[in-house]
Amino acid sequence: MKLLLSLRYPLVVALAAGLVWALCQALGLGSAAAYGVVIAALVVRPDFKAWPKPLFVALPLVVTVGLALGTFLKPLVDAPIAWEFAVVSALAQLLGQVLPDRLAILRNLLPILAILPLLASNSTWLAAWQQLLAVIVGLGVGVGLQACFRLPLDLGAVASSPASGSPAGAPAAVAPPEPQRSLGARFKDLFFWRKLVFSVLALAIGQGVGAVNPKYVYFGVVILLNDSIGATLGKVRDRMVGVSLGVLMPWLIFNTFGVSSVSLGLVMGGTVALLMALGFQPHLRTALISSGVTFAGYQALTDWYIPTRWLDYLMGCGLALLVCVLFSPSSALQQFRQLAARQGRLEGELLRLLPSAREEALWLGQQREFEALVGSLR
């Protein structure tokens, strides 16, 4: 019984990916199928809990705004690609900062979606419409299959997996919700402006250092650069582990069987099963994105794809870390220690800082001392 339950999640992800691909082909959305496949795989939750209802409005709306922004501005900004990236990325991030903090998870989507039309040769309104439809199809299929495979025990279960990097046997700490800031406070955030400036420059920097696909350097800054060194380190580790493992199944299966609904299901379900077997569940989302976008324009993987994509993402990681360390650096580990000395209990702000501080301690080789400090607070 336990084995069957452990196989349920990769099975549902495989079914969702394969079904969305087949539906997109049948509906004439084949060129946009990657969008639907990735969304379908991501909305299937490992614990099979239902998503909050606002997601079903917010996600399509953010996708619409992002794709529309890039499609609208591409013919207007008739300039080298680095300038187009700079203008579109800046506007997308400014729009994203308008979103309330409870929708912060969607902020990084806008500057990513907005630049996708700049990379495509067929960035028309019809293409954007097809991509939006593919996202809606993926969302509906993923949520529908998750509901079909949800068991009564899922309704009462409480997620108990420890945070990434926590020691075995340590109780999972649930951080308090982020404080909700006003619109003015969000635009006064120094870390937002730091990220905006360097993401605007990221593509040009990638071109300057010789990246084969400088867009991955841009993605590295937009996705990974965070307000503290520890939080950025955590995202860097997640990105490199997820990207590295996420290309294994496409490399094995697409090169052997080509791309079809069956092989795509094997790829996505196989990626989930692989990461679960290796104990890398915290990196599932990144690995699924890496597996899902692989077939979008590459079909069977060429020899250069994996190493150049990995190296270009590594450059993006390096740039994000360099910016985080050199420009207005903020150490989550130092903040945690200072607050622990005053507060004495692991609650409130300390819980919020815990994952980032733990990650920073891990990279600095101070994990034993840090865990002793955390233990003294409980």
Lowest mean pLDDT across 248-257, 281-290, 321-330 = 248-257
287 and 372 belong to one structural domain: no
311 vs 60: CA distance, rounded Å: 32
pLDDT of residue 156: 63
Alpha-carbon gap, residue 366 to 2, rounded angstroms: 37
Do residues 267 and 360 share a domain? no
Q: Is 348 inside a domain boundary?
A: yes
Beta-carbon contacts of 178 under 8 Å, excluding residues fewer than 6 positions away, are: 101, 104, 352
pLDDT at residue number 336: 93
- Residue 310: its pLDDT value, please? 82
Summarised one tens digit per residue, pLDDT across range 289-306 is 988 877 654 554 555 566
Residue 13 near residue 143, CB atoms below 8 Å:
no
Q: Tens of pLDDT along 149-168? A: 998 877 765 444 444 444 43
Please check whether residue 300 lies inside any domain of the structure. Answer: no
287 and 353, same structural domain?
no
Whether residues 78 and 15 fall in one domain: yes
Look at residue 177 and give its three-state secondary structure: coil
Proportion of the chain above pLDDT 90, given as a percent: 61
The reply to whether 198 falls in a domain is no
Q: Is residue 166 part of a domain?
A: no
Closest CA to 336 of 352, 320, 322, 317: 352
Instruction: Say how many domains are in the chain.
Output: 2
For residues 372 and 340, what is the distance between their CA atoms, to the nearest angstrom?
A: 12
Mean local confidence (pLDDT), 84-96? 94
Helix, strand, coil content of the chain in percent (nearest 5): 75, 0, 25
So what's the pLDDT on residue 191?
93
pLDDT at 1: 61
Average pLDDT over the chain reads: 87
Same domain, 267 and 363: no
| Residue-number span of the structural domain to which 67 is assigned | 1-154+263-271+283-291
> What pLDDT is recorded for position 254?
80
Q: List Cα–Cα distances, 300 to 240, 242, 256, 257, 260, in angstroms.
A: 22, 20, 8, 9, 11
Q: Is residue 78 part of a domain?
A: yes
